[in-house]
Amino acid sequence: MATPKSIVRARKFRTFTLAQIEEASGLDCGFCLACGAMQECCEPDACQYRCDDCKENQVYGAEELLIMGRVH
């Protein structure tokens, strides 16, 4: 059986603790789903902002992450 030339890997389902979300909410911060970095100056409902660390458009506001079910 032939193997595919490229294998698509599923991204890790990144979650955050409730304490991290609460802290980010109080500081007007969000988190990057690609690298996990906390980002400043992020509205609570931010979606797909550009990450200062990894340059991916994967930064979401604290409350948005809560709505998305990214809290454990």
Please tell me the distance from the alpha carbon of residue 68 to that of residue 48, in angstroms, as a whole number. Answer: 13
The answer on pLDDT for 10 being more than 60 is no
pLDDT above 70 for 5: no
pTM above 0.75, yes or no: yes
Q: How far is CA 45 from CA 12, 13, 30, 31, 42, in A?
A: 22, 19, 9, 12, 8
Task: Please give the Cα distance from 46 to 56 (Å, whole number).
Answer: 14
Q: What is the SS3 string spanning 12-33? A: CCCCECHHHHHHHHHCCCEEEC
Predicted confidence (pLDDT) per residue in 18-67, tens digit: 999 999 999 999 999 999 999 999 999 999 999 999 999 999 999 999 99
